[in-house]
A and B are shown apart, each in its own frame.
Chain A
Amino acid sequence: EDQVTQSPEALRLQEGESSSLNCSYTVSGLRGLFWYRQDPGKGPEFLFTLYSAGEEKEKERLKATLTKKESFLHITAPKPEDSATYLCAVQRPDSWGKLQFGAGTQVVVTP
Protein backbone atom coordinates (compact mmCIF):
# COMPACT_ATOMS: atom_id res chain seq x y z
CA GLU A 1 0.00 0.00 0.00
CA ASP A 2 1.26 3.46 -0.88
CA GLN A 3 2.28 5.58 2.07
CA VAL A 4 3.25 9.21 2.37
CA THR A 5 4.70 10.46 5.66
CA GLN A 6 5.52 14.08 6.35
CA SER A 7 7.72 15.38 9.14
CA PRO A 8 7.74 17.29 11.32
CA GLU A 9 4.01 17.72 11.99
CA ALA A 10 4.59 21.32 12.99
CA LEU A 11 7.48 23.76 12.66
CA ARG A 12 7.91 27.15 14.26
CA LEU A 13 10.55 29.41 12.71
CA GLN A 14 11.88 32.87 13.31
CA GLU A 15 11.81 35.13 10.27
CA GLY A 16 15.01 34.47 8.30
CA GLU A 17 15.63 31.07 9.92
CA SER A 18 15.95 28.55 7.07
CA SER A 19 14.69 24.99 7.48
CA SER A 20 13.55 21.89 5.62
CA LEU A 21 10.38 19.80 5.54
CA ASN A 22 10.54 16.10 4.78
CA CYS A 23 8.19 13.88 2.76
CA SER A 24 9.05 10.19 2.70
CA TYR A 25 7.10 7.84 0.46
CA THR A 26 6.64 4.23 -0.48
CA VAL A 27 4.89 3.73 -3.80
CA SER A 28 4.95 1.11 -6.52
CA GLY A 29 6.44 3.28 -9.20
CA LEU A 30 6.30 7.05 -9.02
CA ARG A 31 4.77 9.14 -11.75
CA GLY A 32 5.12 12.38 -9.83
CA LEU A 33 5.56 13.95 -6.40
CA PHE A 34 3.60 17.10 -5.69
CA TRP A 35 3.92 19.89 -3.15
CA TYR A 36 0.99 22.11 -2.17
CA ARG A 37 0.55 25.03 0.19
CA GLN A 38 -2.67 25.37 2.19
CA ASP A 39 -3.72 28.49 4.07
CA PRO A 40 -6.35 28.23 6.85
CA GLY A 41 -9.88 27.95 5.48
CA LYS A 42 -8.71 27.61 1.89
CA GLY A 43 -8.05 24.89 -0.63
CA PRO A 44 -4.51 23.66 -1.31
CA GLU A 45 -2.51 25.68 -3.83
CA PHE A 46 -0.19 23.88 -6.26
CA LEU A 47 3.53 24.60 -5.84
CA PHE A 48 5.68 21.99 -7.60
CA THR A 49 5.72 18.67 -9.42
CA LEU A 50 8.88 16.53 -9.34
CA TYR A 51 9.18 13.52 -11.62
CA SER A 52 12.56 11.86 -11.11
CA ALA A 53 15.29 11.49 -8.50
CA GLY A 54 17.75 14.37 -8.60
CA GLU A 55 15.22 16.86 -9.88
CA GLU A 56 14.95 20.25 -8.17
CA LYS A 57 12.48 23.11 -8.55
CA GLU A 58 12.44 26.58 -7.03
CA LYS A 59 9.89 29.28 -6.44
CA GLU A 60 10.84 32.39 -4.50
CA ARG A 61 12.05 31.17 -1.07
CA LEU A 62 10.98 27.55 -1.67
CA LYS A 63 13.07 24.79 -3.20
CA ALA A 64 11.87 21.21 -3.64
CA THR A 65 14.18 18.24 -4.18
CA LEU A 66 13.53 14.56 -4.84
CA THR A 67 15.34 11.31 -4.13
CA LYS A 68 14.14 7.74 -4.66
CA LYS A 69 12.59 7.59 -1.20
CA GLU A 70 11.89 11.14 -0.10
CA SER A 71 11.44 14.76 -1.01
CA PHE A 72 12.50 17.88 0.84
CA LEU A 73 10.96 21.32 0.77
CA HIS A 74 13.60 23.85 1.76
CA ILE A 75 12.43 27.23 2.99
CA THR A 76 15.20 29.81 2.74
CA ALA A 77 15.05 32.97 4.88
CA PRO A 78 11.30 32.57 5.50
CA LYS A 79 8.94 35.49 5.98
CA PRO A 80 5.69 35.52 8.01
CA GLU A 81 3.73 35.20 4.77
CA ASP A 82 5.28 31.74 4.30
CA SER A 83 3.20 30.54 7.27
CA ALA A 84 0.92 27.77 6.00
CA THR A 85 0.46 24.01 5.95
CA TYR A 86 2.58 22.32 3.30
CA LEU A 87 1.20 19.12 1.78
CA CYS A 88 3.06 16.43 -0.12
CA ALA A 89 1.38 13.93 -2.44
CA VAL A 90 2.44 11.10 -4.76
CA GLN A 91 0.95 9.79 -7.98
CA ARG A 92 1.45 6.32 -9.40
CA PRO A 93 1.48 5.54 -13.12
CA ASP A 94 -1.88 4.65 -14.65
CA SER A 95 -3.73 6.10 -11.68
CA TRP A 96 -5.88 8.62 -13.57
CA GLY A 97 -4.21 11.45 -11.74
CA LYS A 98 -5.23 10.23 -8.31
CA LEU A 99 -3.00 11.52 -5.52
CA GLN A 100 -2.05 10.00 -2.16
CA PHE A 101 -1.53 12.84 0.31
CA GLY A 102 0.54 13.11 3.46
CA ALA A 103 -0.94 14.73 6.57
CA GLY A 104 1.03 17.93 6.08
CA THR A 105 3.52 20.09 7.98
CA GLN A 106 2.17 23.22 9.63
CA VAL A 107 4.74 26.02 9.41
CA VAL A 108 4.53 29.18 11.49
CA VAL A 109 7.03 31.98 10.84
CA THR A 110 7.22 34.67 13.49
CA PRO A 111 8.64 38.19 12.94
Chain B
Amino acid sequence: NAGVTQTPKFRILKIGQSMTLQCTQDMNHNYMYWYRQDPGMGLKLIYYSVGAGITDKGEVPNGYNVSRSTTEDFPLRLELAAPSQTSVYFCASRGDNYGYTFGSGTRLTVV
Protein backbone atom coordinates (compact mmCIF):
# COMPACT_ATOMS: atom_id res chain seq x y z
CA ASN B 1 0.00 0.00 0.00
CA ALA B 2 2.75 2.49 -0.92
CA GLY B 3 0.51 4.90 -2.87
CA VAL B 4 2.60 7.87 -4.05
CA THR B 5 6.27 7.91 -3.03
CA GLN B 6 8.44 11.02 -3.24
CA THR B 7 12.17 11.28 -2.76
CA PRO B 8 14.09 12.98 -1.28
CA LYS B 9 12.13 14.33 1.70
CA PHE B 10 14.51 17.25 2.23
CA ARG B 11 17.16 18.91 0.08
CA ILE B 12 19.30 22.02 0.19
CA LEU B 13 20.57 23.30 -3.16
CA LYS B 14 22.93 26.10 -4.03
CA ILE B 15 21.85 28.71 -6.57
CA GLY B 16 22.49 27.40 -10.06
CA GLN B 17 22.54 23.72 -9.14
CA SER B 18 20.14 21.22 -10.67
CA MET B 19 18.24 18.29 -9.23
CA THR B 20 15.46 15.82 -9.93
CA LEU B 21 12.58 15.23 -7.57
CA GLN B 22 11.40 11.67 -7.89
CA CYS B 23 7.77 10.56 -7.80
CA THR B 24 6.41 7.06 -8.28
CA GLN B 25 2.93 5.59 -7.78
CA ASP B 26 1.80 1.97 -7.62
CA MET B 27 -1.94 2.47 -8.24
CA ASN B 28 -1.80 2.38 -12.05
CA HIS B 29 -3.23 5.91 -12.25
CA ASN B 30 -2.91 7.66 -15.60
CA TYR B 31 -3.17 11.20 -14.26
CA MET B 32 -0.27 12.64 -12.27
CA TYR B 33 0.51 16.16 -11.07
CA TRP B 34 3.24 18.27 -9.51
CA TYR B 35 2.27 21.10 -7.15
CA ARG B 36 4.29 23.49 -5.05
CA GLN B 37 3.07 24.87 -1.72
CA ASP B 38 4.31 28.13 -0.24
CA PRO B 39 3.32 29.49 3.20
CA GLY B 40 -0.09 31.19 3.14
CA MET B 41 -0.66 30.26 -0.48
CA GLY B 42 -2.71 27.52 -2.05
CA LEU B 43 -1.03 24.70 -3.92
CA LYS B 44 0.05 25.84 -7.37
CA LEU B 45 0.17 23.42 -10.32
CA ILE B 46 3.58 23.13 -11.99
CA TYR B 47 3.11 20.34 -14.55
CA TYR B 48 0.73 17.49 -15.12
CA SER B 49 0.50 14.30 -17.17
CA VAL B 50 -2.51 12.39 -18.51
CA GLY B 51 -0.54 9.29 -19.37
CA ALA B 52 2.86 7.93 -20.35
CA GLY B 53 4.48 10.20 -22.92
CA ILE B 54 1.99 13.05 -22.43
CA THR B 55 2.76 16.09 -20.27
CA ASP B 56 1.64 19.71 -20.16
CA LYS B 57 2.35 22.92 -18.30
CA GLY B 58 0.38 24.07 -15.32
CA GLU B 59 0.13 27.49 -13.72
CA VAL B 60 3.81 27.96 -12.70
CA PRO B 61 6.06 25.89 -15.03
CA ASN B 62 9.01 28.26 -15.47
CA GLY B 63 12.28 26.77 -14.24
CA TYR B 64 10.97 23.20 -14.23
CA ASN B 65 10.74 20.25 -16.60
CA VAL B 66 9.06 16.87 -16.45
CA SER B 67 9.00 13.57 -18.28
CA ARG B 68 6.65 10.59 -18.16
CA SER B 69 8.22 7.52 -19.71
CA THR B 70 6.16 5.04 -17.65
CA THR B 71 2.76 5.06 -15.93
CA GLU B 72 4.45 4.75 -12.54
CA ASP B 73 7.07 7.51 -12.63
CA PHE B 74 6.76 11.28 -13.01
CA PRO B 75 10.04 13.03 -12.13
CA LEU B 76 10.33 16.82 -11.83
CA ARG B 77 13.58 18.42 -12.94
CA LEU B 78 14.85 21.74 -11.61
CA GLU B 79 17.48 23.38 -13.80
CA LEU B 80 19.55 26.29 -12.49
CA ALA B 81 17.93 26.49 -9.06
CA ALA B 82 16.88 29.93 -7.83
CA PRO B 83 15.81 31.12 -4.33
CA SER B 84 12.24 31.56 -5.68
CA GLN B 85 12.09 27.77 -6.02
CA THR B 86 12.37 27.31 -2.27
CA SER B 87 9.11 25.53 -1.48
CA VAL B 88 7.47 22.25 -0.57
CA TYR B 89 6.78 20.11 -3.63
CA PHE B 90 3.97 17.58 -3.79
CA CYS B 91 3.35 14.91 -6.37
CA ALA B 92 -0.15 13.48 -6.73
CA SER B 93 -2.01 10.94 -8.80
CA ARG B 94 -5.71 10.78 -9.54
CA GLY B 95 -8.00 7.83 -9.10
CA ASP B 96 -11.50 7.02 -10.33
CA ASN B 97 -13.25 9.03 -7.62
CA TYR B 98 -11.36 12.10 -8.88
CA GLY B 99 -9.72 12.55 -5.50
CA TYR B 100 -5.97 12.95 -5.56
CA THR B 101 -3.56 10.77 -3.65
CA PHE B 102 -0.63 12.93 -2.58
CA GLY B 103 2.91 12.00 -1.71
CA SER B 104 4.46 13.18 1.54
CA GLY B 105 6.33 16.02 -0.14
CA THR B 106 9.87 17.26 -0.74
CA ARG B 107 11.01 20.30 1.21
CA LEU B 108 13.52 22.18 -0.96
CA THR B 109 15.66 25.12 0.12
CA VAL B 110 17.76 27.05 -2.40
CA VAL B 111 20.56 29.12 -0.86
Q: Tell me how far the C-beta of A102 lies from the nearest C-beta in chain B, rounded to whole angstroms.
A: 5
Q: Are A49 and B42 in contact (CB under 8 A)?
A: no
| 1/0 contact string of B25-55 vs chain A (CB within 8 Å) | 0000001010100001111110010100000
User: Which of B4, B42, B97, B99 contacts A101 (CB under 8 A)?
Assistant: B42
Number of residues of chain A lying within 8 A (CB) of chain B: 23
Determine the chain B residues whose CB is within 8 A of the CB of A36 once the complex forms.
100
Determine the chain B residues whose CB is within 8 A of the CB of A42 once the complex forms.
104-105
Chain B contact residues (Cβ within 8 angstroms of A): what range? 20 to 34
Within 8 A of A (CB), among B60-88: none
In the assembled complex, A104 has its CB within 8 A of some CB on chain B: yes
Interface, chain A (partner B; CB < 8 A): 4, 32, 34, 36, 41-46, 49, 87, 89, 91, 96-104
Interface, chain B (partner A; CB < 8 A): 4, 31, 33, 35, 40-45, 48, 50, 56, 58, 90, 92, 94, 97-105
